[in-house]
Structure 1
Amino acid sequence: MSTRVDCHQHLWPPALVEALRRRDGFPCLRGWTLHLAGENPYQVDPAAHDVTLRRERELAEGAGRVLVSLSSPLGIEHLPAADGAELIDVWHASALVLPDPFHVWAAASVTSPDAPALARVLREERVAGLQLPATALGSPSAIARLSPLLAVLEKAGKPLLVHPGPAPAEDGDLPGWWPALVPYVAQMHRSWMAWHVAGRTLHPRLRIAFVALAGLAPLHHERLTARGGGAFGPADPNVFYETSSYRADAIGALTAVVGAAAIVHGSDRPYAEPLDPATNAAEFFTANPGRLLAG
């Protein structure tokens, strides 16, 4: 694949925005202020979710394909069955009609997994694969519980994207960046460890990408081995690490452990900006995403 890919962005179609405004409980929007159980109220920039503006920007920057996903920190996948399913249906219906270059990561309830419903969504050509929150994959037993969804995904030949989930409610006046640097990173680290223990055994052919370089979990491979977690390596060719918010220092360190072929570019726009293609390996934007998406 020579097309330049951004594997991870967020864009809320108007129907999802209106659905969040109609809600009485978390997550909800009041105007453009986002309210979540575990984070400070967040003032959303309306331009960040203006489909026309975002499309023009991506095309001007030369993006060939941009994969957008439901924002898992909202906690929608963890909502009770009917509540969450309604918002997930809104997401699929509204995101699938976004214009090129936008393609879609599917979403699924993790409280009431519905494998047949996921199978139907995965048949859509514009669906790249499934995104699940790391908070639902944080132990071997959690992965086993969601295996019906993962089996459907594996059968479809499409990948899994593991994304930070909702931050827990905490006491005290924490800075706004706290969730992204503390619970999100810990969630990614934990989900990677759980996959190391059980995921590949349960799903030998599933391609998987961890957002935010998996919280840098692979850098702990020496401690993992020393504490009895087993040897790490050679790198699994079907495990990928998405770059959002990280730059040369972290990407270089992780590449030294997992290899450059495992790194895929994702920006997490509008919350962070893309890597510069002029100063980063071309394979991060083209060949590696191609193998993640198509095998």
Structure 2
Amino acid sequence: MLLVDCLLPGQIRRLGRQVTFLTARRPMKTSARDCEIRGGEYVAWDRASYATALKVWLPLANEGDRDAQTYVGEINEKGLGVAPNYSEAEKWYRRAAEAGHPRAAVNLGYLYEQGLGVPKDPAQAAIWYRKAVGAKDVTPPAEPTASVRPTLAPAVPALPAPPPPPQVSAAPAPVRQHLALGKYHALVIGNDDYRSLPRLGGAADGAREVARILRDGYGFQVTVLTNASRYDVLAALNDLRQRLDDKDNLLIYYAGHGQSAPDGRSGYWLPVDGEPDQPASWIANAAITEFLSAMN
């Protein structure tokens, strides 16, 4: 169910009556199963060497493809088993961001905010964050706000406050109905009944309450998973990836055990079938990020 860097076979094309040729192989992000069905070659990121992961995307990045440049930047930032190369990440993020890639702009802003590969500069971070959302005035505020880069932490967030009662008014219909904002979806996960880890209390009930608030108060289409296995979570993410388009909106809520990596820069969600000291049975934050990145 995990997304992989898939290298699809080239297409056999015919030019006129006498010339038949094979096009270059095409990289794409898709599930391992889909890659296999289409005859592609892949190596999962968590098993790939640095050179193998780069092999898929670097040629296309050098040709100017913004998505490929962003992937190469993320490979360098995350390290993939070697020390992260933030200077190289900054180079590729900048190329893609200057060409108008929103995620690359957010990632570049994060490097400036944290001082990774570049001098720490909150003002520059704010400029790139504003460019990522299409702001025409990219002048940073006097006191730049906290990071807008999504962070997938294992902590359980507090429940949102219930919505205020509706106001009866003779005003015209809300502007939102005239805008192409897409549908609002939520994946809500709450795990209590762990098989090999200490049992939690309240995570599943909290998830159900969050789902009720999002559905009844805000009109979300909610998928609820309680006491979910690794397969359950990945299958739900893969289903959303296939159903949502670029106009839709997705919120993910997770309550359950989590685990940070020793360096503190990455972490894991622990499904109910996760085993102690066995990261292969957990769900890496990076894997969640991959699913979210593939949805845009």
Higher relative contact order (CA 8 A, sep 6+): 1
Query: TM-score normalised to the size of structure 1?
Result: 0.29
Query: TM-score normalised to the size of structure 2?
Result: 0.29
The structure that is helix-richer by fraction is 1
Return the index of the structure with the highest Cα Rg: 2
